Amino acid sequence: MFHIAFHEPRIPPNTGNAIRLVAATGAHLHLIGPLGFDLSDAKLRRAGLDYHDLASVTVHDGLPEFLAAVPAARVFAFTASATTRYTDVAYRPGDVLLFGPEPTGLAEEVLADPRVTDRLRMPMLAGRRSLNLSNAAAIAAYEAWRQHDFDGA
C-alpha cells in the first residue's frame, strides 16, 4: 500500500483523522518529528476513535530517519506552490504522500530534498490558502488507491 507522511504535524485531531484514514485504506502513517503534541493527547485519541489498533503508524525523530525507513520509495511532496496536479501522477504501491505542518506547509529545505520525486498540488479556487491537512491526505490517498482499483477493499 501507500505511505502517508505528516512532517511535524501540529494539530492532534488531524493526526487522529489520519489514523482513521490509514485504518480504512491499509496505508501506513508516518509521523515525522518533532510533533506539536503528545501522542496520548485526548483530541488525537477522540478523532481516531477506536481505529488506533487497526492503523499502521510509525513515529520518526526527523526527516532523515523517515527517509531511511523508506529507502526505495518515491516521495511526493504536497504543496500549494507546485505546478503538477496530484491527479497527474501514476501512483505505485509504496509511494510516499508527504504533507507539511498545518499552519505553514512543507519548508523549502524539505521540498528541495533530493529524495523528493515531485511536488504536487490540489487545485483550489483563487484566493484560498490550503485545505485541512487530514482532508488533503484523504483526497490524495483515495486517488492513489483508486488508480489501483481499490485493491484489498
C-alpha cell at 72: 526505495
- Ligand-binding annotation for 124, yes or no, is no
Chain-centroid distance of CA 22 in Å reads: 10
Q: Are 153 and 118 in contact (CB under 8 A)?
A: no
152 labelled binding-site residue:
no
130 marked among binding-site residues: yes
DSSP single-letter state for residue 52: G
Element (H, E) at 25: helix 12-25
Report long-range pairs for 134-137 (Cβ below 8 Å, ≥24 apart).
134/13, 134/14, 134/15, 134/17, 134/18, 134/21, 136/78, 136/99, 137/4, 137/6, 137/18, 137/21, 137/97, 137/99
Which residue numbers belong to the known binding site for S-adenosyl-L-methionine?
100, 122, 130
Which residue numbers belong to the known binding site?
100, 122, 130
